[in-house]
Structure 1
Amino acid sequence: MYLKSLVATSVGGAMSAVVLGGLLAAAPQAAAAGTSCSAGVFMRTFYKNTSFTGTPVKTDCDSAVSESWAGSPVAGVPVNDFGVRWWMARDFGSGGPFTFAVLATDGVRVYVDGVRKIDLWAGTGDTARGRNVHLVVPPGRHTVRVDYANWTGAAKVKFAYAPRTAAVYDKVKPLAPVGVRTTYNTTTRKTTVSWTANKEMDLAGYSLHRRPVGGTTWTTVTSSTTARSHTDPLVNPGDRTPYYYEVRAKDRAGNISAGSADALVRPLPIVTSLTGTFDKVTRKVTLKWPLNTEPHFDHYTVLSNDRVDGAYVWVPLGTTKGSTWTTAPVPADIEARHYRVLVTNDGGTTTPSPVGLDARAPHELWLAIPDTIAPAYAPDLTLGSCAGGVRATAADYTPAPIRDFVGLAIERRAPGATTWSVVLHKTFDPRLDPATATVCAAQAADGRSHEYRARTYDAAGNYSPYSEIRSMALPMG
């Protein structure tokens, strides 16, 4: 956030209201001398004339324009007919109504962004006179310059600018705080929120607010603090709910800024996504997830949802600091396997693990295991003749409720051949018992014996053992 101004000084005089504009003006000639002043501090240059020309006698920094010189202000400058210039560039934050005031003998002029706002340029001897003007300063960075000329007599000059903090004048909200940072203590389980100092001159304080992720209502943690950090007394129940924090600024006129950018606090690191693959050869599942980088992360616990004593429970498989895990071989039972990865922080608190399954949990995976178990038994194979060939019939007598196959296949090879060819690959009629499939395989009546064999297959493409090889020759016609 930015400030409205720095010093509050009031002097008497006439008042007039104007609105400021313009961009940052170039620094005066004295800036070339290499002098650098802190933020909110004026660069001051002394001249041996009242036209501010030539090389300055001296350049230094001045925190406030408030002088009374009875003689020469610095060595090398005459007692009379000298000039002093003050210049500063600063950020006025949200801007708003300000009072600029001078009290001086002889000549004094005040400029904002190079535009003259106060002009009292006449000799007065030892008599000082003043003027106040009310300016509406736009937000952002602006320049302020004060030129003072002493012709004769005592040299007295005072200048100050300050925000008008009465609510009747100031309707400008402060800018939202910036630089919000959060620190979660895993031992006390409390969150400390800190932020960058607000630059508003009329700052009254800050307030800190919290809301749970997914919620819409902000809870006020502290309504007023002039400090730039605050520890939330909330101990997060179970350390499971992430929160957003925001800081708001309030000025002395009662205007409240918008909230800062929300700062997210997760009391526990979490696994944001979990994926897995099944290897048909090893029958192992490999789990993967993004590696947590939070400073309070300690380790992961990998769990599998298994049947124990008739009920499914989450069984720990082990712990790791890495982001992958390979399980022991799992049954290829076509059922989904369920896995979780929990996070434990350096305070010893672990992500809660509810008893049931949660399909929406990012750290939980439901993985379908493909069927790699083949039908256990070979079917029976019978051969007979049919018009133009051999009738081959495969039959399986497994009772219908427990059949683990969906079809039958019959293959054959010619005498002397080493390669089998498929003559039938089809599902069976589920209404028949046993399950049966028949084909009339074209075969020449040449007295040569062809060999046949059969097997069943399941929906995943797994095949049972082969039946006994049977052969048949059709008599030569």
Structure 2
Amino acid sequence: MITRSRAGVLAATAALAVTGGLPTATPTAAAASCPSPRWSVSFYANTTLSGPPKASFCEAAPHQNYGYGDPAGVTLPKDNFSARWTLTRDFGSGGPFYLTAESQDGIRVYVDGVRRIDMWRNVTATQKTALNLSLPAGRHTIRVDFVAWTGAANLKFAYVPRTTSTVDKVRPLAPTGTSASYDRTINRTTLRWAANKEMDLAGYRVYGRPSSSAAWTRVSGTGLVASGTYAHLPPATGATYVYEVRAVDKAGNESAGSADLAVVPVDRTPPPAPTGLTGADAPGGVTLAWAATAGAAGYTVFRQADPVYGEAQPVVQVATVTSPALTDTTAPERTGYTYSVKAVDAAGNVSPQPARVAVTRGDHPPAPPTGLTAAQVYRGAELRWSGSVSDDVAEYRVYRDGEPFPGIHARVVDYTTRPYTFAFQDQGGVAPGTTHEYVVVAVDRGGNETRSAPLLFTSAGDRVPPAVVAGLTATPREDGVLLEWQPNQEPDLKRYDVYRAVWLGEGPVGGEDGVWSFRQIAWLGKTETSHLHASPADGETVLYAVVATDEWGNGRAPLTGQDFAWVTVTELGAPPEG
């Protein structure tokens, strides 16, 4: 036979196994404050649950067998004592629950103050009952009252959710406390959320979608996520991607979605390869066109010449353009090519497997020279133009008034960039105040030619030379001949031209059997009024002339039939023999 005190020790041992430690008694009238979902229990030395409790502490559940004794650590009468268990907790979305109770002696169960089970009677054997109850969402309080009148004492109460799909139609609450962090280095989103309050929770599902779409896709796979965290690799398109988390109960009911969580992934997705590439040869170059590619910020065009003697030629990047068309003006003629085009998006991703087309470049006239200009220079005009962009130009020909200049060699002025700039001076053939038409012709190695736009040029100035230089003198010296003259007062004076002449003939200097042979020896600025000509002191008689020349090239030069300033002088020293 088990004594009442022995049964009490066994009951205390069972309580330790359930609670994980010794109950802590509260000898005051106040009930113990216990963390949910633990129960607060108070014991009374009467059958009416009245007056200050003898003890209060926390237990895992109202599941005790006191036998013929009393709870461990509590001094109660042998018979006629009572106890009250109280629990307040969050039941999440609520739903159908199954309540079971058994006791010897009396037991009553209250839910939110409403009595749901009533077996308040003195019995000699354990009595049992069960109840199906549907609870609304939120927090609820359950109270279990127990009384032991005489004889053995025990009780057991439990509540569990009903989880069959035919009974439970209540959706769980949506997860809360959600957050998302994104790692750009590895393109990974880490989602976190707070634990759901549901008692019948089975797990979670994670859904995602591009922000441009309203359709959700389950990204967490077919199974359920057990914990409150999940990692996902979003599409690396650079477009905003949105997540939500949903709770799932054991009946298969799925909650509404959590608050949306948005991340902006890196863009590592290349655009599609261009399609519909076509190419055609034309006089101005190879014309290419293709269909516009969705998401492309630009296109890179490549060119590869056909193999030469079986050796593959390098691939050349022709250009990067923003529109789906290009004319390649740089491809040499008389060659076959394969062109390819790749699409490039704003993040620099390049499309795979580029579109390709083969084109053979024929022999065409070169592109014309452009930008022809003319400027006044001494005794003529200086022409300048930008060379043809074609790379097979052999020469340029300059025409004035429809007639070509023979033997022209255009001079490269700027050879750092294409098209090069060329220049040519038409000297001596342009009279002041006259108008002429100039044309520049580009000629390629095949003899094809193209002409620039014609240019009309009117020379400036007059045809009247400055006045004869006055006061010209020549003084022989050991170091040469010093020439001096008075300054010319012409407003458009540009310079002085100095000439020296020697007598060629059999007779005396200046006689009828000879002639003066002139040679220009100096060009002097308009402010000069003297010039020392370093000549040997050999006693030779020579002639010097100084001519004033204006801005338009007019001057009274020797052999022009005009008067000019001249002077003869005999140099120091002995005259040459013969």
Larger Rg: 2
What is the TM-score with the length of structure 1 in the denominator?
0.49
